[in-house]
Amino acid sequence: MKSLKVALSVALMGMAFGASAGNHSNDALSNSKFSVGAAKLDVGLVDATGFALEAGKQWHNGFYVNAQYMSVSDEVFGNDIDFTSFSGVVGKQFNLNDMSVFELEAGAVKAEAEAGSTKISDTNFLVAANYKVEVSNGWQLAAGLEHIDSNTSFVLGTEYMFTDAVGVSFEYKKDSDANLMLLQGTYRF
């Protein structure tokens, strides 16, 4: 029930961002979007699946905010393992040319893992740098680095927009301990 409340809160936040957008930007490189979809996390013996929600708002000066909620679970040796995370960042996008941007982000991530009666919770600072390029009309590629608590992840992603507002995205994060894959439907505003 708690996961559903958090998921609905993020969804409502995304709708509020959309309603307050004013001058709409459908640029494929913009961070003004709402995404929902499947998540898969591989950590050792854990092969957890679940869902992720993401909402972001970018202003015309290149500054943006982004929030993401993820909930995945698995069963290992008869024990249910649940993992949730919530992250929020503030970022700045720098236009390199008409087709590419560089982004810097700073924020925090709160992660919880629960197995049986054992629960671990941790909150850490995160920084990230991303490069995004629109390779053709509506199709973008992205690569970056994300650093959380002495652990650096390499991030690759792609997104294809079927219309100015509706598309699909895939993101892959790899660090020394885990692999994370996200497949999401995207609505841009």
- Map out the domains of the chain with their CATH numbers: 2-188 (2.40.128)
CA of 56: how far to CAs of 13, 75, 128, 142, 149, in Å? 9, 32, 16, 17, 23
Question: Rounded CA gap, 125 and 123, in Å?
Answer: 7
DSSP state of 98: T
**Residue-level pLDDT at 90:** 98
Looking at residue 1, what is its pLDDT? 42
pTM for this entry: 0.83
pLDDT along the chain (189 residues), means of 10: 43 41 55 97 93 97 97 92 97 95 98 93 97 94 95 97 95 95 96
Q: Are 141 and 125 within 8 A, CB to CB?
A: no
Count of beta carbons in the 10 Å neighbourhood of residue 37 = 17
The reported pLDDT for the residue numbered 64 is 98
Residue 35: exposure state from Cβ atoms within 10 A (0-12, 13-18, ≥19): buried
CA–CA dist 56, 146 (Å, integer): 18
* Cα–Cα dist 50/71, whole Å: 6
What CA–CA distance (Å, rounded) separates 31 from 93?
Answer: 9
